[in-house]
Structure 1
């Protein structure tokens, strides 16, 4: 089993909890199943990498974020999410790969989706709970990219990285990489049950819980109990308490700052998109 993850300083506690959850739950076949983990790092120090390795018994292969995504149109979110458009750049996997966002935790074995027949599709994913944020009237199935299962043979045969990167350069998607994925792979993805990428923190059937909304558990004064229990088993448990004094007032200020930042950047990105489309 090969897992593909990315993270930076802002999500380092999420990454720590995810890695521990992988150790605890990803594979029940602890004797015969090896788990390979590739993590793309953006600004994570050597000391922090050692600490993250201590979160998980499986060896982590580190790759540095390659900053070639500046031309991609992005209203919000981190550009590190775009690494999932180019899995072959960061891994040498030729068969199958599972991507996990660093604001997820694994609560059940990933064996079923690792061994799943993708029915001739290059990607399997679970539906986005809120449909298509770029066009709410669009009723076509729309998937969330917080968990992806890649068929790397088909992915490379269809040259999907090239197509996705081109799409992200000329289209303005409010949900960044997710918009590009759904545009290129519309009706060409294998649908997983929502339990494999579930924002419902009360659903006990969940295999992969995804904290899609803000605040993230490490930002909240009252973190999700499941997430907190997992983080408490890592060397980062004290880091949370350093941040726990962050008040609701400060969080609201940060949210307002982000909204103001979008108010400035969104028109610029839209203008850039308009110019690019005029040049096509």
Structure 2
């Protein structure tokens, strides 16, 4: 089994909880051959050593290899775009499980690893909020927080090249997710919502996804399941700092999130206009 994720220093606690959740649940399912690839920026050797202690499986660290500045929808972290180029960061695997670093695993991942793709290049769960680029669009639209790649078909169809080209010529408010849904429309296998569940009180979840702000490590009242994972890592002492470190930020993040929704589309369109003028 090969698991793929990415994080920067602002997501270290999220990554620590994810790694511990993989450690606890994958080992219980009897999967002995597990490889974890992490693409990182601004995570340094001492932190990587501590993160390795979160999980018995060897972590393969990769640095971000592309700057993605030529993509029209780039805003904030560039790490989500590594999903468009999985082969650049992972070798010799015919399938791959992507997990965002704000998820935790609560059950065996074997059903994902043994999935029948039925000649489709990717599997994912539907996005609960539909298509954020067009709320009137009722076509199926997936969330890119948990993905299962059919790497053989992915390479045969040169999907990374098609995705990057799409991201160079389109403005997507949801960045990598918009490009993935545009290129792979109608060509993805739908997973049950339990594999990418935003409902953080749903105990049927196999993978719980903390999609909204504040993230658990930013909250004065973090999700208990997430806390249980982090408390079993070398970062457990950070728990005492969370209430003070992020006190008052919950409402601030919500206000910023609303502002971002209002401003992102016009800003991205303006960036697109400027880049087109330079050509």
* Matched residue, 1:17: 17
1:1-280 pair list within 5 angstroms: 1-30=1-30, 33-74=32-73, 76-253=75-252, 256=255, 267-274=266-273
Residue 224 and residue 163 in structure 1: after superposition, are their counterparts in 2 closer, same or farther (change >3 A)? same
Greater alpha carbon shift after TM alignment, 136-145 vs 233-242: 233-242
Tell me the CA shift for residue 77 of structure 1.
Answer: 4.5
CA distance in 1 between partners of 2:36 and 2:123 (Å): 19
Could you list the per-position Cα deviations for residues 222-246 of structure 1 after superposition, in whole angstroms to 9, with x for gaps in the alignment? 0000000110000011123223213
CA distance in 2 between partners of 1:246 and 1:79 (Å): 25
CA distance in 2 between partners of 1:127 and 1:77 (Å): 24
Equivalent pairs, count: 279
For residue 136 of structure 1, give the secondary structure of its aligned residue in structure 2.
coil
Residue 250 and residue 200 in structure 1: after superposition, are their counterparts in 2 closer, same or farther (change >3 A)? closer
CA distance in 2 between partners of 1:211 and 1:241 (Å): 20
**Contact preservation (8 Å) 1:196, 1:209:** yes
Residue 211 and residue 262 in structure 1: after superposition, are their counterparts in 2 closer, same or farther (change >3 A)? closer
For residue 190 of structure 1, give the secondary structure of its aligned residue in structure 2.
strand
CA distance in 1 between partners of 2:258 and 2:240 (Å): 27
Tell me the CA shift for residue 156 of structure 1.
Answer: 0.3
CA distance in 1 between partners of 2:246 and 2:59 (Å): 34
For residue 244 of structure 1, give the secondary structure of its aligned residue in structure 2.
helix
Tell me the CA shift for residue 255 of structure 1.
Answer: 5.2
For residue 73 of structure 2, give the secondary structure of its aligned residue in structure 1.
coil
Residue 189 and residue 258 in structure 1: after superposition, are their counterparts in 2 closer, same or farther (change >3 A)? closer
Tell me the CA shift for residue 54 of structure 1.
Answer: 0.2
For residue 240 of structure 1, give the secondary structure of its aligned residue in structure 2.
helix
Residue 256 and residue 187 in structure 1: after superposition, are their counterparts in 2 closer, same or farther (change >3 A)? same
| Superposition CA RMSD, Å | 2.2
CA distance in 1 between partners of 2:218 and 2:92 (Å): 34
**Contact preservation (8 Å) 1:75, 1:265:** no
Q: What is the TM-score with the length of structure 1 in the denominator?
A: 0.93
CA distance in 2 between partners of 1:9 and 1:247 (Å): 16
For residue 97 of structure 1, give the secondary structure of its aligned residue in structure 2.
strand
Structure 2, gaps ≥5 residues long: none
Tell me the CA shift for residue 6 of structure 1.
Answer: 0.4
Q: What is the TM-score with the length of structure 2 in the denominator?
A: 0.93
Structure 1, gaps ≥5 residues long: none
Tell me the CA shift for residue 247 of structure 1.
Answer: 4.8
**Contact preservation (8 Å) 2:67, 2:78:** no
CA distance in 2 between partners of 1:265 and 1:113 (Å): 34
